[in-house]
Amino acid sequence: MTTLTRRAAATTAALALALSLGACSISIGTPDSSDNTSTQTAQQDGGQPASGDDSGSASTAAAPAGANPNIVEPGWLELLNNADATVMSPTNGQVMIDSAFVNAIVRDHVDTMTLTGTEIDIAATSVDHLVISGSFIDVYVEDVASVTITGTYVDVIYAGNPPTVDDTGFNNTVRQQSADGDD
C-alpha cells in the first residue's frame, strides 16, 4: 500500500466516524420509560465535545451568575460557562444519558442520574444517587448522597459532604473539589 492510499483510507475512516457521531442525543427520562411523553431529546450540535485551550495555561473562569460562588474547580467552571452545554431538568426525578460527546448542566434536584455513554461532562446541583457505567465521564455535583461506578476513567468531583461510594470499575476518582481550584 502506498502512502497516499493509506492516507486516503485513514481520512475516509475518520470522516465516517465523524459523520456517525453527528447524530448523538441526550435522553432524559425514567430509565424504563418507553413512551415519548416522558422523554425529552436534545440534539448535540455537530456531535463533538467543546474543547478548551490545550496550551496548558490556567483557567481564569469565574462562576456564572446564579452559580454557587464556592465552586473553584477549573473544569467545573469551564462547563458552567460553556455556552454550547445543554441545560436540562430531570423528568420524574430522573436523568439518563446514554450518548457520546455530551456537555450538560442539570438545574434541578435529581433522584437518580444514570450515565452509560462515553465522553460526558455534566454538572448538577443535587443528586441522591449517581450511577455510572460509561467511560471517560466527568461529573461535577454540589451535593451527592451516593455514587455507584462500574465504568472506567470516571471522575466525580463534589463540593459538599463526601458521598457513599461503590466503585467496581477501573481508574476512577471520587473527590472533593480542591480548595484553591488546582487538581
- Phi, psi of 22, deg, nearest 5: -70, -15
Helical (H) or strand (E) element with 18: helix 3-21
Q: Is residue 17 part of a domain?
A: no
Q: Which of 157, 159, 97, 107 is nearest to 131 (CA)?
A: 97
Other CB atoms within a 10 A radius of the CB of residue 97 amount to 24
Do the Cβ atoms of 103 and 87 come closer than 8 Å? no
How far is it, in rounded angstroms, from Cα 112 to Cα 7?
A: 45
Q: Is residue 167 part of a domain?
A: yes
* DSSP for residue 85: S
- Residue span of the structural domain in which 146 resides: 25-48+62-176
Q: Is residue 14 part of a domain?
A: no
Res. 18: pLDDT tops 80:
no
Q: Is residue 154 part of a domain?
A: yes
How far is it, in rounded angstroms, from Cα 160 to Cα 141?
A: 8
Q: Is residue 15 part of a domain?
A: no
Q: What percent of the chain has pLDDT over 70?
A: 61
Please write the tens of the pLDDT for every residue from 37-59. Answer: 333 333 333 333 333 333 333 33
Q: Is residue 181 part of a domain?
A: no
Arithmetic mean of pLDDT over the chain: 74
Q: How far is CA 173 from CA 68, 104, 138, 142, in A?
A: 22, 20, 10, 16
Please write the tens of the pLDDT for every residue from 55-67. Answer: 333 334 555 655 6
Grid coordinates belonging to 161? 459532604
Q: Mean pLDDT throughout 147-176?
A: 97
Res. 14: pLDDT tops 50:
no
pTM of the model: 0.66
Q: Is residue 3 part of a domain?
A: no
| Total domains in the fold of the chain | 1
Q: Which of 52, 48, 56, 82 is nearest to 67 (CA)?
A: 82
Q: Which residue in this structure is represented by grid cell 451568575?
A: 65
Res. 3: pLDDT tops 90:
no
Q: Are strands 25-28 and 40-43 parallel, antiparallel or unpaired?
A: antiparallel
Q: Is residue 7 part of a domain?
A: no
